[in-house]
Chains A and B, each alone.
Chain A
Amino acid sequence: MTTIDVQALPAGTWSVDKVHSSIGFAVDYMAGTFHGTFGDFDAAVTDGVLTGSARVASVQVPDENLAAHLQSPDFFDAQAHPELTFTSKAINRDRDRITIAGEITIKGHTEAAEITGEISDPIADPYGGERFGLTLRTVVDRAKFGVSWNNPLPSGEPALAGEVTITAELQLSKQA
């Protein structure tokens, strides 16, 4: 029997193509799901370790007053904690499925997180480079990070859910 040791992520250093990537969140609010994104973010794979960060001040939602409220101490507190960050600790791959154990930091609180998703193998891009893709998703309990704002519905139930889905669509290009 032969075993093949396959590294979960491609070797070398890969940096995010910010134009063709996105980091966002989704949270149930009232009768539906509310979505937002972060316009300013970074991600990289270095020797098999994935790191990422997003600047809170770059949160993008359809209302400027809501964007300002999201940056305030009621939510992310951009002044005291300007970034959300992630670092992988262990990565497992099964064909195109990937599972990443790591630590996510929001509002200065660091919690273990398990991220699931898909990976595509490196391809040659039209610009003479090489790139691969990651589609990632995790669910966090925002209360654990001190992001506990809410507003009751007339029924007394909270309007904003506790579970938040964080998503990342990343294209990573190989660095020389």
Chain B
Amino acid sequence: MRVLGISGSLRRDSYNTALLRHAGELFEAEGAEFEIYHGLRDIPPYDEDYDNEDASEAVARIRAAVRDADAVFFVTPEYNSSVPGALKNALDWISRPFAANPLRYKPVAVIGASSGMFGAVWAQAELRKVLGAIGARVSEGEVAVGQAGERFDENGRLNEPNLEQEVREVVLTLLGDARSAAQTGQPSANRIAG
């Protein structure tokens, strides 16, 4: 089982990327391969005029990374009550061509962190909506790490066992959904009538 992790924050010392790394340890503890996607910064603004063979190599790279993963795990901050532009922009590239995009039917999960009280819950909700519209299989579960400046130890790991347990539950749900999707990956040819 290969899981791709994407952080919506580009900041070097991002709480969200720290949260993603911690989630990655939990995925690996469950026997999954986990890889963090680096390179959101390199993706140009979506422009349909360049959505062809002239598209940036960074676009091809993220599309391939999503395609090759069995599941994608998103961790997002909240900018102005919504999804960070760089993450939304990457999703806009990934989602084309729409009917054959690599997120279609892909099991995904979303959690988030913010320095404020609410842990990016609005951004998470909007990201789930966007992923659903793209055609992803959005897992249940939410983790909102509020006041993130106080939630990580000096090694960048969550310092509260209950938060870690919440993340683990989302990790387990996503892995379960990915296993189910792998079993039903090909539409059945059975027909009941005719």
Q: Which residues of A contact B (CB under 8 A)?
A: 15, 42-44, 51-53, 57, 64-65, 67-69, 71-74, 77-80, 82-83, 85, 87, 149
Contact = CB atoms under 8 A, between A and B. Distances in A.
Given A15-B194, A52-B193, A80-B180, 8 more contacts: A42-B194, A51-B193, A64-B98, A69-B135, A72-B132, A78-B187, A82-B188, A87-B192
Contacts of A43: 193
Contacts of B136: 72-73
A67 B180 CA distance: 24
Given A79-B187, A149-B132, A64 B99 contact: yes
- Top 7 A-B pairs ranked by shortest CB distance? A72-B135, A82-B187, A51-B193, A68-B99, A42-B194, A74-B132, A79-B105
A65 B132 contact: no
B33 to A, nearest CB: 23
Contact of B98 (A68, A83, A87): A68
B184 to A, nearest CB: 5
A67 B191 contact: no
Interface of B: 98-99, 104-105, 132-138, 180-181, 184-185, 187-188, 190-194
B99 A80 contact: no
Contacts of A44: 193-194
The dominant DSSP class at the A interface is: mixed
A85 B188 CA distance: 13
Contacts of B133: 69, 74
B138 to A, nearest CB: 7
18 contacts: A42-B191, A42-B193, A44-B193, A52-B193, A64-B98, A68-B104, A72-B104, A72-B105, A72-B135, A73-B132, A73-B136, A73-B138, A74-B135, A77-B137, A80-B180, A83-B191, A83-B192, A85-B192
A15 B194 CA distance: 6
A65 B192 contact: no
A64 B96 CA distance: 12
